[in-house]
């Protein structure tokens, strides 16, 4: 792994990374390669692309000071651990829960966490089901989610996990403007209020960037939400 690229990129984003964090990134990349050689875990990117498009991209909320010390965070649809793993490596104080509907990804993450010496919770479930469980419903300071669904669907998959005063953070592409009206309506139905977007540029990569869509949890999510598994995708709220 190109540690200098990662370190410089993080510095430009205003994020400090000590040697332990950089070593953990390196080890995590090696574990990803090991698993990718035998299963289809995540798109294989070259090393520099992985630093930019996975590690630096995942770290964006830290630039904006969105996660308080010790915050309880759930990564909804974490896949191979993005954005949750880079966030946890950079901020081991976070109480992170990795959630995914695919068990092979959860098993990979459990192995990676043990080998990196990091503590976190893992949850093999659909977001729609997990958000009905008392242990997870409205229990988190933040829900993060990248590349999982359109904005309105994401509101329904993330906001039920967030307690009043917390925030849902979704990584979105340049087309987010077209999704905003439905997202605002969906958030309203779910006890949230869309705050807006903040830019999440990746240093040196003008060609490729996300924005973070921020939704504040301003009320309580009605019991009817989330609807049963699959419905938020098939019939997004607010459309």
- Residues forming the site for ligand SAM (CB under 6 A): 77-79, 82, 99-102, 105, 126-128, 146-148, 157
Of the candidates 162, 155, 101, the one whose C-alpha atom is nearest the C-alpha of residue 126 is 101
Strand ordering across the sheet containing 210-217: 121-124, 95-100, 72-76, 140-146, 162-172, 210-217, 192-200
Q: How far is the CB of 146 from ligand SAM (least distance, A)?
A: 4
**Which CB sits closer to ligand SAM, 39 or 102?**
102
**Smallest distance, ligand SAM to C-beta of residue 83, A:** 7
Strands (E), 54-161: 72-76, 95-100, 121-124, 140-146
Q: Which residue from 179, 177, 155, 173 is spatially nearest to 239, judged by alpha carbons?
A: 179
Of 157 and 159, nearer to ligand SAM (C-beta) is: 157
Cβ closest to ligand SAM, residue 116 vs residue 127: 127
Closest contact distance (angstroms) between CB of 200 and ligand SAM is 13
CB of 218 to ligand SAM, least distance (A): 23
Give the residue with the Cβ less far from ligand SAM, 79 or 191.
79
User: Least CB distance from residue 59 to ligand SAM, whole Å?
Assistant: 13
**What backbone torsions phi and psi does residue 197 show, to the nearest 5 degrees?**
-115, 150
Identify which of residues 144 and 214 has a Cβ nearer to ligand SAM in the complex. Answer: 144
The answer to whether the beta carbons of residues 17 and 7 sit under 8 Å apart is: yes
Max distance between CA atoms of the chain, in angstroms, equals 48
Give Cα 43 to chain centroid, integer Å: 17
């Amino acid at each position: 792994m190109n540690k200098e690229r990662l370190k410089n990129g993080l510095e430009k984003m205003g994020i400090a990374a000590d040697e332990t964090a950089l070593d953990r990134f390196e080890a995590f990349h090696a574990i990803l390669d090991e698993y990718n050689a035998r299963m289809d875990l995540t798109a294989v990117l070259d090393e520099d692309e992985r630093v930019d498009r996975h590690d630096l991209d995942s770290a964006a909320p830290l630039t904006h000071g969105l996660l308080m010390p010790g915050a309880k965070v759930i990564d909804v649809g974490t896949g191979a651990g993005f954005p949750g793993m880079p966030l946890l490596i950079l901020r081991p104080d976070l109480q992170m829960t990795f959630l995914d509907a695919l068990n092979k990804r959860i098993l990979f993450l459990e192995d990676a966490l043990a080998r990196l010496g990091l503590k976190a919770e893992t949850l093999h479930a659909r977001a729609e089901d997990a958000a009905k469980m008392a242990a997870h419903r409205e229990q988190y300071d933040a829900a993060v989610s990248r590349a999982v669904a359109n904005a309105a669907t994401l509101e329904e998959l993330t906001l039920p996990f967030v307690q009043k005063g917390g925030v849902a953070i979704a990584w979105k592409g340049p087309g987010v403007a077209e999704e905003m009206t439905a997202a605002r309506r969906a958030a309203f139905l779910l006890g949230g209020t869309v705050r807006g977007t903040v830019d999440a540029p990746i240093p040196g990569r003008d060609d490729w960037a996300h924005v973070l869509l921020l939704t504040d949890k301003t009320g309580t999510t009605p019991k009817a939400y989330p609807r049963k598994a699959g419905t938020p995708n098939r019939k997004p709220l607010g459309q």
